[in-house]
Structure formats: structure tokens, C-alpha cells
Structure 1
Amino acid sequence: MTTKLTLTIEDRVIDSAKKYARQQGKSLSDIIENYLKSITSQEERTAKLSPRVSKMMGVISLPDDFDYKSEMGAALSKKYIP
């Protein structure tokens, strides 16, 4: 089922979007519909991890108060500052 939707968008944005749609050989409605599908798709939101990264998940446990920024800063200082 297709439903008509009214949007309020700045004129210059509409003009740019129409130009883009023409260049792509698509209608502006198609482009907006595909964009909305992509941002609302559950599959798109879930990042797919490589098997190697998945294997590493949970390998280390850190304390709740672990401050990775200060640890990273200390490690970089140790490495680059004599």
C-alpha cells in the first residue's frame, strides 16, 4: 500500500534533492523511501562483526571503574615520550 506524505522542507534542499534524483534516474519519492527503509531497518542497525572479532569478545574482563582514556594516554606517553 502506498500513502501520500506531506513534508515541510526548505526550498533549496528540495531543489538539490530533485537534481540529485534526476541524476540518479530515480524519483525523489523513491530516494526518500529507500532512505527511510535504510535507517529503520533492524538489519542495518546491527553491526556485523567478523569471526575474528567475535572470537575476541569477552576474552578480558575489566573493573567497572576502568578508564580506558587515561590508560591509553599513559601507554602512548610511555611509547612516544622518552
Structure 2
Amino acid sequence: MDTKLTLKLNQEVIEKAKKYASEKKLSLSRIVEFYLQSLTTDSKKDDFEISPFVKSISTGTSIPADVDYKKEYSDYLMEKYK
């Protein structure tokens, strides 16, 4: 059941939040609900949620499971210091 909640917020924060919500194609109410839910979710669960910061820096690029990180880094350094 949805219930109405009235909040007093800084006008600038509201405008930025509305723009963000519009870009994400979500309602501002839904974003506030998700945020409050994330704050009140029991953190002792086995599964975990990725923080908003980590989500914001995600590129969406998948990395193959068989990547040789040492070789990739070595190749990078060789190229860098040619």
C-alpha cells in the first residue's frame, strides 16, 4: 500500500533530483523509496547490493574470464615506457 509523505527540501536539490529522475525514467517518489529501502534493509543478508558510487563508475564492459591480468599489465607498461 502506498502512503503519501511530505518532505521539505532545498529547492536546488529538488531540481537536480527531478532532472536525475527524468534521465533515469523513474519518478522522484520511486527513487526516494528505493533509497529509504536501501537504508533500512538488513545488512546481514548473504547477498549484497552494489553501492551507487560503484554503479556510477561502471562501464558496462564485460571482461573475459580467461584474461591474463599480469600479461595485460606487462604489455601496457612495455608500451608506456617505449
> What runs of 5+ residues in structure 2 fail to find an aligned partner?
47-82
Query: Cα distance, 1:47 vs. partner?
Result: 7.5
2-structure distance, mates of 1:33, 1:10: 18
> What runs of 5+ residues in structure 1 fail to find an aligned partner?
49-82
Aligned AA for 2:16? Answer: S
Aligned AA for 1:12? Answer: E
Alignment of 1:17 with 2:21, yes or no, is no
2-structure distance, mates of 1:18, 1:35: 15
Counterpart in 2 of 1:46?
Answer: 44
Alignment of 1:36 with 2:36, yes or no, is yes
SS across alignment from 1:25: coil
Query: Root-mean-square deviation (CA), in Å?
Result: 1.3
SS across alignment from 2:36: helix
Tell which structure's C-alpha radius of gyration is larger.
1
Equivalent pairs, count: 46
TM-score (norm 2): 0.53
Q: Per residue, is there more helix in 1 or in 2? A: 1
TM-score (norm 1): 0.53
Write the deviation string for residues 35-72 of structure 1: whole angstroms up to 9, x where unpaired.
Answer: 00011000xx2375xxxxxxxxxxxxxxxxxxxxxxxx
**Runs of at least 4 residues of structure 1 off by over 6 A?**
none
